[in-house]
Amino acid sequence: MNIAVVSAEVAPWSKTGGLGDVCGALPRALAALGERVLTIAPRYKAYPDAWDTGVRARIYLFGQTHEVGYFHAETDGVHHLFVDHPSFHRAGIYGDSYGAYGDNLFRFALLSRAAIEACTRVPLNGEPLGEDVIFHANDWHTGVLPLYLEALYRPAGRFSRAGTVLGIHNAGHQGTTAAHEFAGLDVSARWWPAADFDGRLNPLKCGATLARKIIAVSPNYAREITRDLGFGLEGIFSSRGRDLFGILNGVDDAWDPRTDKHLEQTYGIEDVAEGKRANKAALQRELGLPARPDVPMLGLVARLDHQKGVDLVQAAAPWLLRHDVQLVMLGSGSSALEGWFREAERTWPDKVRGWVGFNERLAHRIEAGADIFLMPSRFEPCGLNQMYSMRYGTVPVVHATGGLVDTVETFDPLEDRGTGWAFPTFSVEGLVEAMGWALYTFRGHKDAWRGIQRRGMERDFSWDRSARLYRDAYEASRP
Ligand code: ADP
Q: Which atom of ligand 1 is nearest to the CA of 380?
A: 3
Quick one: average pLDDT of 90-109? 95
Choosing from 217, 358, 359, 401 the residue with most ligand 1 atoms within 8 A of its CB, the one to mutate for a pocket test is: 358
Quick one: average pLDDT of 68-88? 98
Q: Which atom of ligand 1 is nearest to the CA of 330?
A: 23
For residue 293, pLDDT over 90 is answered with yes
For residue 17, pLDDT over 90 is answered with no
Question: What is the whole-number distance in angstroms between the Cα of residue 303 and the centre of ligand 1?
Answer: 6
Ligand 1 neighbours, Cβ below 6 Å, are 17-18, 301-303, 330-332, 358-360, 363, 382-385
Question: What is the whole-number distance in angstroms between the Cα of residue 442 and the centre of ligand 1?
Answer: 26
Question: What is the whole-number distance in angstroms between the Cα of residue 304 and the centre of ligand 1?
Answer: 10
Q: Tell me the pLDDT band of 254, cut-offs 50, 70 and 90.
A: confident
Q: Is the dihedral of CA 24, 240, 106, 53 positive or negative?
A: positive
For residue 354, pLDDT over 90 is answered with yes
Instruction: Report the b/e string of 236-249 with b at 16+ CB within 10 A.
Output: bbeebeebbbbbbb
Q: How far apart are CA 37 and CA 380, in angstroms?
A: 28
Give burial (CB, 10 Å; 0-12/13-18/19+) of 17.
middle
For residue 18, pLDDT over 90 is answered with no
Secondary structure (3-state) at 301: strand
Q: For 185-242, what is each residue's pLDDT tens digit?
A: 999 999 999 999 999 999 999 999 999 999 999 999 999 999 999 999 999 999 998 9
Residue 253: per-residue pLDDT: 86
Q: Which atom of ligand 1 is nearest to the CA of 332?
A: 23
Q: Tell me the pLDDT band of 252, cut-offs 50, 70 and 90.
A: confident
Question: What is the whole-number distance in angstroms between the Cα of residue 17 and the centre of ligand 1?
Answer: 7
Contact predicate 48/117, CB 8 Å? no
Residue 125: per-residue pLDDT: 87
Q: Tell me the pLDDT band of 330, cut-offs 50, 70 and 90.
A: very high
Q: Which stretches of 237-389 are assigned E, i.e. beta strand?
A: 244-246, 297-304, 326-333, 352-356, 372-375
What are the phi and psi torsion angles at 313 (to 5°)?
-65, -40
Choosing from 19, 301, 358 the residue with most ligand 1 atoms within 8 A of its CB, the one to mutate for a pocket test is: 301
**With DSSP H G I counted as helix, E B as strand and the rest as coil, what are the percentages for the chain, rounded to 5?**
45, 25, 35
Q: How far apart are CA 318 and CA 327, in angstroms?
A: 12
Task: For residue 425, give Cα distances in angstroms to 163, 316, 431.
Answer: 39, 14, 8
β pairing state of 51-61 and 133-138? unpaired
Give percent of the chain above pLDDT 90.
97
Q: What is the pLDDT of the chain when averaged over all its residues? A: 97
Overall residue count recorded for the chain in this entry: 479
In this structure, the residue with its CA closest to atom 26 of ligand 1 is 360
Question: What is the whole-number distance in angstroms between the Cα of residue 396 and the centre of ligand 1?
Answer: 15
